[in-house]
Amino acid sequence: MSRIPQLETSVLDWRIAPAPVPYADALQEMDNRVAAIKSQGAADIVWLLEHPPLYTAGTSAQAEDLLHPRFPVFVAGRGGQYTYHGPGQRVAYVMMDLQRRGVADVRRFVHDLEEWMIVTLRTFGLQGGRREGRVGIWIDMEKLGRGRQTGGAAESKIAAIGVRVRKWVTFHGISLNVSPDLSHYNGIVPCGLRQYGVTSLHDLGIDVPMDEVDRALRQGFKDVFGV
């Protein structure tokens, strides 16, 4: 039985972990749920959580991008390169049967995850966007007066995306920086992109509690995915 309390059961389950979840436990939980979705017809699920400070290496990670392993490093099995997870960052793992939903299209799924982040950020008055050749959702720091003119990066990532698909069931998902310690990113080259920065809602002057972010995520998911 899962130790993560279930909020409701419907076409799509939503769960929120009450405390930071060790990464190895999260991987096992996702494996179990993906198997149950595929073999037992279990409901799709969005699992909202935080992790203790750690780095994860995606399938495209380069060894030279791990600058200082000050936190545990895990091989994630998802797409992408190195990223950071930690307190103050809302992670959303999405386990969804694309075939059952009649949308067996991984590119479309990733596009919809991006749109979910863009819609959610709009709730807080931010214009996030996609960038050609760069995964994730980005903030134009120049427009906010926080770019190169003040010694920073022209653009910074606020949400990371990394997914895996097994027999058309998705897992892993997104991470949205709410109020993490951004100095923790200094141990890696995030997503292998040295010329760009990372930011958060807090860094941009938007201080909101995590439960408010969760409400925005849930409404944004419904707007994009229809469930």
**Catalytic residue (one of 126, 165, 191, 224):** 191
Nearest of 147, 148, 159, 168 to residue 200 by alpha carbon: 159
Q: Is-catalytic flag, 162?
A: no
Residue positions annotated with a catalytic role: 191
